A and B are shown apart, each in its own frame.
Chain A
């Protein structure tokens, strides 16, 4: 069979695959629809260029197949054509870059009303902390981490006392309220990623990283680790539950503050000591 026909079938097959694919995005559940839209735009422009270049190549293969005695054209350069192609490409690239940068600008500027969620990662699990009534998270240090202080909150920091400790690998979020995810890790790189939210960022030991999104669909979601973190990487899962305001506040009321947690451990210790004395 003629090579051109097979190449043509490959291109047609690619287009059909894209149209009829059963594998595509999960339903978006956050404000980052702009990312999806930019992907779609890039698909149209990039896919168009791909198809055009390949079809032109296939046309040449059919039209200019070798014949003894025929001569190819001798034309080393065509300045005008090269200029047109350069500018057209530059324009196309700029048209794709512009929305990309606009959305990135939103991504790196966190809205003022965003609620902070402190995500702590380790090999291999997740844990969460929310600011208490004062709206501020207490400062932390890896060296302070202990059973009674899983985040390593500085005991002297007044902002830390009312921090809400979520003792679960599932975090609840309020629907339609922006969240700023603060990421920290105690050992290696991790990445707190929910495909439906589209957004992600690495957790890096030694520093605190962040990103934000606004969940807009009530439901339960799975958290995946998206940065290789050793043999347990593929099994490092967590969860998110997006709830309406009322449900969320009810859940929030059930959570323990750092102060309560410390008191509980102290009591445990005291009881333990008493038991030991008896």
Chain B
């Protein structure tokens, strides 16, 4: 299949472009860009409907496929959260729900949202769509593998969803899947359910590795002329670093999934000690449940940043474009992303302060965890300093960015409570933890996703989403989500533990009945508000206003494609040549308040730009 090339349409490198740095402009000295070292990639163009829309090799289509599949799983996750909140807020209305059901919903909600929704959406969705466009490439470097990556993910999702329909139902072990209970009776779905979960996770990792290699190598090897690493949009930096983390972290998940499968199927004892169950000693012995926790969190903590770093990158670009101001401290932002990524491999056991591991680890992991707060805080400062003295458009995209800053700082601060080992002791395993991680890695990244959808929709679909509906969507989501998770911290202070099917028979928990009802109502409303976006998208596709090219007046390459929406190959006959970073907004002396990355210095001779 892939040895068939459509030569008429493939883009042959032109000798002048390869050999000669100047592209015939007036002043070759200041406009000089190093020639590219390799010829251009030849693309396989689709010949049929199936090759164009199903088994497609165009990263943009693959991105949309990832996006839609992830959104589907996200809707499933959302419905599960509604069911959970129904049980917690109004147990009398949830008579159909047993403790088994509840724990299955908790587990599937967690796993779906973290892995199949957020990770797939940021890296598979935005990564595929934006990386080639933003670095000035025609496509990912291995388009065929990229296509396989999506279909592997699709199968992983199908296997995961199948677990709802097997005898015993899906696993109810909690998304952390801690042994021994995960594979023992007494936990729902300890038969087929957990097996399908482990298989699905393994497939996800395999599929993700195919995609991840593509993202990394495309960014490292396929950037267009002049696109130096320090001229890349922060979106690309965020996705790149997150992908490197994923490549290093997911193998830990894969091995723990394989070992647990062996413990389940072949009665090996990687994670299983001697166990007495219903008066009988099981055929296990000598394994370590804590070993699993180390492996899981060695994956699990970087996983937080696999979600957060693309969000950091994207939000930086959105804020800069809509504040009409360069991102403040670009180099600091890049090094903060890389630094946070590196540090994220040295903090995993802060999830395990009270797990029974050697308590002396606490000193080390508390210190590394709080160190990570410094580069993170620098990023926050730089976002708000980008707003300072900007020329801020308060549109829907900017609203999501502002919502992100509020929720992320809130969730970041509560992270300092939980990271600080002895403060974690009273708060761990309580609702404080739930409130913290939903705020910081649920709501905050979701704000960025929404902002990104409103920002890039004109590029993807060629039409502008409705601003009025967008504002309703934003305010209901932001205010609703904030009123779910802000009060929830205080449930944790009271001492209400996580993962309680019912919580009304202890005196200090009954005081929170009213709050639980309030939180549940807010959760129903916030969930329902997401359908405003779906409605907005359908309405816009049907009757929406046609988008002009580059409606936000941005500088980065994705807005300078040959057509809108971009076609296969992205940039028409000639790849763009990059002369500057993507943040030249409001440059003194320039006619417009933005200078595209492709503008040569000789075209804007009177400006005082920084050398980037």
Give the interface of A toward B (CB within 8 A): 3, 6-7, 10-11, 14, 17, 21-26, 32, 34-36, 38-39, 42, 46-47, 49-50, 53-54, 56-57, 60-61, 64-67, 70-78, 81-82, 85-86, 89-90, 93-94, 96-97, 100-101, 103-105, 107-108, 122-123, 142-143, 145, 183, 186-189, 191, 193, 195-196, 198-207, 209, 222, 224-235, 237
Query: Which residues on B sit within 8 Å (CB–CB) of A3?
Result: 394, 399, 402
Closest residue on chain A to residue B99 by CB atoms = A231
Let me know if B53 is at the binding interface, CB within 8 A: no
Q: Which residues of B contact A237 (CB under 8 A)?
A: 506
Docked complex Cα distance between A47 and B416 (Å): 11
Q: Cβ of B359: which chain A residues have Cβ within 8 Å of it? A: 104, 107-108
Interface residue from A35, A67, A188, A225 paired with B426 (Cβ < 8 Å): A35
Binary per-residue interface labels of chain B (538-554) against chain A in the complex, 1 for a CB within 8 Å, 0 otherwise:
00000000000000000
Partner of A76, one of B187, B330, B414, B425: B330
Q: Is the CB of B422 within 8 A of A17?
A: no
Among the 9-residue stretches B116-124, B174-182, B461-469, the one with 4 or more Cβ atoms under 8 Å from chain A is B174-182
CB distance from A38 to the nearest CB of B (A): 5
Q: In the bound complex, do residue A233 and residue B273 qualify as a contact, i.e. CB atoms below 8 Å apart?
A: no
Q: For residue B286, which residue of chain A has the nearest CB?
A: A206
The answer to whether B178 and A73 touch across the interface, beta carbons within 8 angstroms, is: no
Contact of A232 among B186, B281, B409, B511 (CB under 8 A): B186
Which residue in chain A gives the minimum CB-CB distance to B290? A204
Contact check, A231 vs B100: say whether CB atoms are below 8 A apart: yes
Closest residue of A by beta carbon distance from B330: A76
Q: Do the beta carbons of B328 and A76 come within 8 Å of each other?
A: yes
B465: shortest Cβ distance to chain A, in Å? 18
User: Is B97 an interface residue when CB atoms closer than 8 A count as contact?
Assistant: no
Asked if B497 contacts A49 (CB within 8 A), the reply is no
Contacts of A100 in B (CB 8 A): 366, 420-423
B329 touches A78 (CB 8 A): yes
Q: How far is the CA of A226 from the CA of B486 in the complex (A)?
A: 22
Q: Decide yes or no whether B566 CB sits under 8 A from chain A.
A: no
Residue of B at shortest CB range from A71?
B586
Kindly list 5 other residue pairs between chains A and B, CB separation below 8 angstroms, not including A74-B608, A85-B381, A204-B289.
Answer: A39-B426, A66-B392, A72-B324, A187-B276, A191-B429
Distance between Cα atoms of A239 and B497 in the complex (Å): 16
The reply to whether B288 and A66 contact each other, CB–CB distance below 8 Å, is no
Verify if B388 is at the interface (C-beta below 8 Å from A): yes
Q: Bound state CA distance, A21 and B506, in angstroms?
A: 19
What CA separation (Å) do A19 and B360 show in the bound complex?
Answer: 36
Max count, chain A CB within 10 A of own CB: residue among B281, B402, B501: B402
B251 at the interface (CB under 8 A from A): no
- Does A57 lie within 8 Å of B384, measured CB to CB? yes
Task: For B176, give the chain A residue with the smallest CB separation.
Answer: A228
Bitwise interface map of B from 279 to 290 toward A, beta carbon under 8 Å scored 1, else 0: 001000011111
Contacts of A53 in B (CB 8 A): 380-381, 384, 405, 409
The answer to whether the Cβ of B355 comes within 8 Å of any Cβ in the partner chain is yes
**CB-based nearest B residue for A204:** B356
Question: Which A residues touch B330, using CB under 8 A?
Answer: 76-77
Give min CB distance, B431 to chain A, whole Å.
10
A225 and B608 alpha carbons, distance in the complex (Å)? 64
Find out whether the CB atom of B281 lies under 8 angstroms from the CB atom of A142: yes
A204 x B587 contact (CB < 8 A): no
Given the interface pairs A7-B406, A67-B391, A72-B323, the reply to whether A26 lies near B186 with Cβ below 8 Å is no
Give chain B residues whose Cβ lies under 8 Å from the Cβ of A81: 385
**B318-336 Cβ-contact flags toward A at 8 Å (1 or 0):** 0000011110111110000
Q: Are B506 and A72 in contact (CB under 8 A)?
A: no
Instruction: Determine the chain B residues whose CB is within 8 A of the CB of A227 once the complex forms.
Output: 429
Binds A, one of B443-451, B488-496, B569-577: B488-496
Asked whether any CB of chain A lies closer than 8 Å to the CB of B206, the reply is: no
A189 surroundings in chain B (CB, below 8 A): 178, 180-181, 289
Q: Name the interface residues of B412-432: CB closer than 8 Å to any CB of A.
A: 413-414, 416-417, 420-423, 425-430
B186 touching A234 by the CB < 8 A rule?
A: no
Q: How many whole Å from B170's CB to the nearest CB in chain A? A: 14
A89 touches B181 (CB 8 A): no
Inter-chain contact B413/A71, CB cutoff 8 Å: no
Closest Cβ neighbor of A53 among chain B residues:
B409
Q: A26-B494, A47-B413, A230-B186 are in contact. Are A97 and B276 (CB under 8 A)?
A: no
Specify which of A36, A89, A196 is in contact with B374 (CB 8 Å cutoff): A89
Q: Which of B339-361 contact A (CB under 8 A)?
A: 354-356, 359-360
